Structure 1
Amino acid sequence: MRRNVLLAVLSSLITGTVMAQSLPSGAVATVNGEPISTTMYEQNLRAILAQGMKDTPQLRQTVKEELINRELLAQYAQKIGLDKTPEA
């Protein structure tokens, strides 16, 4: 159930939140105004290529989409307070 809610929230966040136009310098995408850096993208791509994957446009798109999904999850986690330490 919780997974379905999370997937529904992510799906709604993806629509219109990932911008491909007017990117800040050094960014491959933005998610709700937060840039995903070219450096982060290249590090992730190099790590995957080092595992023997073939460099293709599809792989590059998949890496970008994975970084976008991670940022969406991080933003959602922060929104629901998972970044807070519970009071003892």
Structure 2
Amino acid sequence: MCRVFVCSCFGVTDQQIKEHAAAGACTPRQIASVSKAGTDCGSCVRTIQGLLGRGACPRRALIEQGETALDPAALADPSPLAGARLSEAA
């Protein structure tokens, strides 16, 4: 198996980038946070963008299908009295 280094500064391969993308790192910034790739000289950022492509992110695929990554019910305040308690404290 031939290893292709994407980031020479930190020794990150194309296979590692693909594995991180499959695990949910969908942007060069997210790849950088898990692998450091792209955080030194920056010459690999375009290659990382190319490897990520349009279909590399599971969350992006859900959004394109019309699914949401967050449950709207989870965003609602679980306690309607929470606001009342805050105003009482003031």
- When normalised by structure 2's length, the TM-score is 0.30
- When normalised by structure 1's length, the TM-score is 0.31
Which structure has the bigger radius of gyration? 2
Could you say which structure has the higher strand fraction? 1
